[in-house]
């Protein structure tokens, strides 16, 4: 009888632990889904995107912690639920919990405008030692060296800093750090607040790819216009 009671007691504890583990796993899965699908850039046509990219590429990218932007305003599940250009429709089955969590996360992003992450610092210099133009040239040279990594010129009293990349964790930044140290041996990882608006500055390689695609599309449009049949005036 004692063995039965002991078994019942152990089974009760196991059941409670299993329920707690299940609840924790369920929350973890929801958080992963939520973090993966919650943010996307506002839809714009290609010409508008490129015009904006050109202005970002030529404009000063000195930023401070107070920089804000409203361009990240909709979640990817809403975009997927819309009818596509070719008429395709995706039927989405989204648990209510996920929808609530996504809305909460989006509202938090709209309020905070930034998140805690990591970047790789390649230069820090007193503002009295270099002109902004020199620092911009260093930033642009880095982007030429590493076409897949965006670079940012920031001012934190009293120093100018050039930091590159956008990483959620320190571990995520390590592979790029190893690459960057080949040309910038004094580089190191720093923890910082990353403004959501910084994601508007695309890596140089991506900006060039978009420019090439637009140039090709313009050429195709020009050829199509030339090959248009002459309208019958009779």
The percent of residues above 90 in pLDDT, for the chain, comes to: 36
Instruction: Look at the pTM and tell me if it is higher than 0.85.
Output: no
Distance CA 34, CA 25 (A): 14
Class of domain 46-72+113-200: alpha beta
pLDDT number for residue 34: 44
Query: Residue 101: its pLDDT value, please?
Result: 81
Q: Where are the domains of the chain?
A: 46-72+113-200
Residue 146 has pLDDT above 80, yes or no: yes
How far, in Å, CA of 73 to CA of 41, rounded? Answer: 7
What angle do the packed helices 2-37 and 96-112 form, to 10 degrees?
A: 50
């Amino acid at each position: 009888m004692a063995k039965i009671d002991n078994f019942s007691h152990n089974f009760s504890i196991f059941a409670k632990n299993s329920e707690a583990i299940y609840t924790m796993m369920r929350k973890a899965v929801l958080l992963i889904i939520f973090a993966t699908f919650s943010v996307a850039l506002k839809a714009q046509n290609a010409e508008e995107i490129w015009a904006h990219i050109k202005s970002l590429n030529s404009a000063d990218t000195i930023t401070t912690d107070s920089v804000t932007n409203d361009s990240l305003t909709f979640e990817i599940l809403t975009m997927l639920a819309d009818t596509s250009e070719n008429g395709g429709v995706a039927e989405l089955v989204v648990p209510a919990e996920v929808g609530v969590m996504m809305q909460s996360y989006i509202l938090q992003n709209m309020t905070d405008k930034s998140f805690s992450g990591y970047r790789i610092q390649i230069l820090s210099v007193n503002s009295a030692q270099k002109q902004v133009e020199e620092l911009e040239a260093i930033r642009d040279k880095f982007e030429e060296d590493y076409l897949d990594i965006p670079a940012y010129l920031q001012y934190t009293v009293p120093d100018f800093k050039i930091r590159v990349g956008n990483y959620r964790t320190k571990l995520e930044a390590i592979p790029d750090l190893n690459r960057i140290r080949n040309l910038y041996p004094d580089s190191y990882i720093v923890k910082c607040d990353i403004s959501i608006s910084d994601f508007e500055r695309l890596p140089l390689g991506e900006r060039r790819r978009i420019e090439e695609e637009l140039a090709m599309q313009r050429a195709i449009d020009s050829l199509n216009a030339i090959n248009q049949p002459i309208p019958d005036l009779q």
